[in-house]
């Protein structure tokens, strides 16, 4: 059950991230670190994690700083719940 939640959560996070963050504020860096940790815990290959990181950064650059902070803060909150 917990693995299903983590897998579903990771899928949601990656989809959310694709439309989520701008510049790379501190909140987004912290959010990415949590996402990367969860991805590794789930056994995702490093090359796939690198691809997702690039997508994450590219999408961050597409938003205003305020939008990025808000989106990344929400994502971090979700990741905190998924870690429990």
Q: What is the pLDDT of residue 32?
A: 94
Element (H, E) at 9: helix 2-18
Global pTM value? 0.67
Tens digits of per-residue pLDDT, 24-60?
Answer: 889 999 999 999 999 999 999 999 999 999 999 999 8
Per-residue pLDDT at 81 exceeds 90? no
Of residues 49, 42, 35, the one with CA closest to residue 4: 42
* Number of structural domains the chain divides into: 1
Q: What is the pLDDT of residue 82?
A: 80
Query: In this structure, which long-range contacts are made by residues 4-8, counting pairs with CB atoms below 8 Å and at least 24 apart in sequence?
Result: 5/82, 6/38, 6/41, 6/42, 6/82, 7/42
Range of the domain at 40: 2-83
Instruction: For residues 7-33, give the mean pLDDT.
Output: 65
> Alpha helix (H) ranges present in 19-64?
26-41, 46-60
């Amino acid at each position: 059950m917990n693995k299903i939640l983590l897998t579903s959560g990771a899928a949601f996070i990656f989809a959310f991230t694709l439309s989520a963050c701008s510049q790379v504020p501190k909140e987004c860096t912290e959010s990415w670190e949590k996402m990367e940790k969860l991805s590794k815990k789930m056994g995702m290959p490093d090359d796939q994690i690198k691809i997702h990181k690039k997508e994450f950064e590219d999408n961050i650059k597409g938003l205003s700083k305020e939008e990025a902070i808000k989106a990344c803060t929400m994502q971090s909150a979700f990741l905190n719940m998924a870690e429990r």
